[in-house]
Structure 1
Amino acid sequence: MNILIGILIPLLGTTLGAACVFIMKKEMNQLVNKGLLGFASGVMIAASVWSLIIPAIDMSDGMGKLAFLPAAIGVLVGIAFMLILDKIIPHLHLDNDKPEGLKSEGIKKTTMLVLAVVLHNIPEGMAVGIVFAGAMNSENAITIAGAFALSIGIAIQNFPEGAIISMPLVGEGISKGKAFSYGFLSGIVEPIGAILTILFSTALTPIMPYLLSFAAGAMIYVVVEELIPESSSGEHSDIGTIGFAIGFVVMMVLDVALS
């Protein structure tokens, strides 16, 4: 039961963020948007280091001085995986009229906006599932408390993400109810990915260090490719930087305090 709650916490963050369409009349202020994007970036980078890469290295202690190898390989493969998805899945980022991925004729703009967020959520769902699977099957490297820290951290960064995807959709002429639904559905991929990972956790145990760092690499790709450029574009880029610092520290504190 605790594990089910843990993997649903990130979806709660997305849902609460998407619900902002019902309480905010106007589009999100640009400065707030930049700060939240920076905050999300900080949370994801800190989670990648403390919750994923460091446990992966700890699990590989038996390799001696080569204990870094599984983590290094996993990070690079995770980045390559997201790069391939970025090139294949048709998606559209806010404030950008040019779709990315394969040719997307016939796909609605709103669908591509949601797909962009889904693309971000894939590594987060994988990370939560892998960490909980690791907590179930490893002795010391990952604890249930540490897994909950990651889940809570991702939920915190999912809140602005849910708002950022749902609120602009209202500006596209979509009703608040539908905008909320799109935001909620964009987060469904996270618990689904987490559940599938846990179901196969026994078979995945031997390669857990690679999987942890794979999820870290995937999240790092999203931060560097999308979140940081969006938070630092235009004026007042320092707001995104401040948000990053706060998010990084919050996630670091959560991981250390709850582990």
Structure 2
Amino acid sequence: MDENVIFALLLTLFAGLATGIGSLLSLLTSRTNTKFLSVALGFSAGVMIYVSLVEIFVKAKDALVVELGATNGYWMTIVGFFGGMIFIAAIDRLLPKLGNPHEVKSVEDMDVEPSNAEYTKLMKMGVFTALAVGIHNFPEGIATFMSALQDPNLGIAIAIAVAIHNIPEGIAVAVPIYYATGSRKKAFKLSFLSGLAEPIGAFLAYLILMPYLNGVMFGVVFAAVAGIMVFVSLDGLLPAAKKYDEAHSSIYGVIAGMMVMAISLVLLA
């Protein structure tokens, strides 16, 4: 395993473990700064949308045009892009409907002594949310890994954006489990484990895709990565950012994320 692969895997591990950071924030603080959360989620969405459409999609198209020609290469890029969206949308549809996985509550918003019925409901919500987060993190791990493998600097930017949006997912997993069990340790453990789906997805991508990674395979996968990241941003990050919005803070976060990503791509070129 060469250094580039190890670096890409470590980036996905970093991004995935951000769910644990979210868990710690929810369990060690009494209130959540929702204004900051709105800006952070918007920033993450801005980074992911900009880099997907301006950088990743273009790299995928260039690779496929070289292999298949201008017209066929462009069409295959489009197929890969929307195929990635359909893939992540299908995962989203198949998951149990447990509300917004980015929904954040402060510890003061819930009863610290749930009844037996509430205990069961909260525990079920926490476990299924952890499952949902884990499944969602799987393709994100592939996206981060493939991006870092192609361009380490691009991989770092994507890993940071993914990590930011994994933080509220960790909160969503930890809070109901904590109030169901009264155990911070159990809540943190399950939240932490849900984030491990990201590096697992990356490692499976390495085992399955690497032997077949020619120009066409790279282009299609990279286009799908762009589609996945745009869908996650539009379906998850932006609605969650607007939920906690104050005075257009989420859109300012989006613009800031795009600007930072644009400047960093120029500086790293």
TM-score calculated relative to the size of structure 2: 0.75
Which residue is 2:107 aligned to?
A: none
Which residue is 1:229 aligned to?
A: 239
Change in Cα spacing, 1:149 to 1:231, as seen in structure 2 (3 Å) is: closer
Change in Cα spacing, 1:50 to 1:18, as seen in structure 2 (3 Å) is: farther
- SS across alignment from 1:93: coil
Change in Cα spacing, 1:227 to 1:5, as seen in structure 2 (3 Å) is: closer
* Structure 1 residue 37, shift from structure 2 partner: 2.5
Which residue is 1:68 aligned to?
A: 74
Unpaired runs of 5+ in structure 1?
97-104, 136-141
Matches of 2:176 and 2:37, distance apart in 1: 11
Which residue is 1:42 aligned to?
A: 46
Matches of 1:21 and 1:9, distance apart in 2: 19
* Structure 1 residue 51, shift from structure 2 partner: 4.7
Matches of 2:256 and 2:128, distance apart in 1: 30
> Retained in 2: the 8 A contact 1:33–1:164?
no
Match 1:57 to one of 56, 61, 73: 61
- SS across alignment from 2:29: coil
Matches of 1:44 and 1:57, distance apart in 2: 18
Unpaired runs of 5+ in structure 2?
1-5, 105-120
Which residue is 1:186 aligned to?
A: 194
* Structure 1 residue 74, shift from structure 2 partner: 1.0
> Retained in 1: the 8 A contact 2:142–2:202?
yes
* Structure 1 residue 69, shift from structure 2 partner: 1.9
Q: Deviations over 1:24-82 (max 9, x none)?
A: 122x1333332232223223212323452121012123222554222211111111112
> Retained in 2: the 8 A contact 1:33–1:231?
yes
* Structure 1 residue 210, shift from structure 2 partner: 1.0
1:37-186 correspondence to structure 2 within 5 Å: 37-62=41-66, 63-94=69-100, 108-132=124-148, 135=149, 142-163=150-171, 165-167=173-175, 169-170=177-178, 174-186=182-194
> Retained in 2: the 8 A contact 1:231–1:237?
no
Q: Which has the larger radius of gyration?
A: 2
Q: Deviations over 1:234-253 (max 9, x none)?
A: 76371221222222333344
> Retained in 2: the 8 A contact 1:130–1:212?
yes
Tell me which moved more, 61-70 or 214-223. Answer: 61-70
Q: Deviations over 1:178-201 (max 9, x none)?
A: 222232122111100111111231
Change in Cα spacing, 1:120 to 1:47, as seen in structure 2 (3 Å) is: farther
> Retained in 2: the 8 A contact 1:10–1:151?
yes
Matches of 2:41 and 2:266, distance apart in 1: 23
* Structure 1 residue 211, shift from structure 2 partner: 0.8
Q: Deviations over 1:198-219 (max 9, x none)?
A: 1231213331111111122122
Which residue is 2:254 aligned to?
A: 244
- SS across alignment from 2:248: helix
Which residue is 2:29 aligned to?
A: 24
* Structure 1 residue 3, shift from structure 2 partner: 3.5
Matches of 1:165 and 1:180, distance apart in 2: 9
Matches of 1:36 and 1:164, distance apart in 2: 16
Change in Cα spacing, 1:180 to 1:148, as seen in structure 2 (3 Å) is: same
Matches of 1:235 and 1:184, distance apart in 2: 27
The count of corresponding residues between Structure 1 and Structure 2 is 242
Change in Cα spacing, 1:124 to 1:252, as seen in structure 2 (3 Å) is: farther
What letter is aligned with 2:212?
A: A
* Structure 1 residue 144, shift from structure 2 partner: 3.0
* Structure 1 residue 10, shift from structure 2 partner: 1.0
- RMSD, aligned α-carbons: 3.0
TM-score calculated relative to the size of structure 1: 0.78
Matches of 1:12 and 1:254, distance apart in 2: 24
